[in-house]
Amino acid sequence: MRVEVRVELKPGVVDAEAESIEKSLALLGIPSVRHVTTARIYDIEFAGVDRTRAEQLAADAVDRLLANPVIHRVSVRSLTD
């Protein structure tokens, strides 16, 4: 079972990488860019577990390693192959 974990900065947290990309796109002459945000996406594959257990394991990984609840917002979704 595969699970996708998406980790983004919460609104109000400075996203320096996104700001740099916004400025660079403008310098490259790429028009109409209103806003850029960045995110990390983790595609985790679990063996021998059902969807519910895979989502629980992914949530545990988020809590213990993948995100900081003070600055990150997280979404977890099951993927079907």
- Entry pTM: 0.88
The total of structural domains in the chain comes to 1
Here the CATH number for the domain that contains residue 17 is 3.30.1280.10
Measured CA angle at 32 (ends 7, 29), to 5 deg: 100
CA torsion, ordered 44, 49, 51, 55, to nearest 10 deg: -50
**pLDDT beneath 70: ranges in the chain:** 81
Would you say 71 and 14 are in contact if contact means Cβ atoms under 8 Å apart? no
The pLDDT assigned to 81 comes to 59
The pLDDT assigned to 80 comes to 79
Residue 34: strand, helix, or coil: coil
Q: Domain containing 55: what range?
A: 2-79
| Phi and psi at residue 46, to the nearest 5° | -105, 145
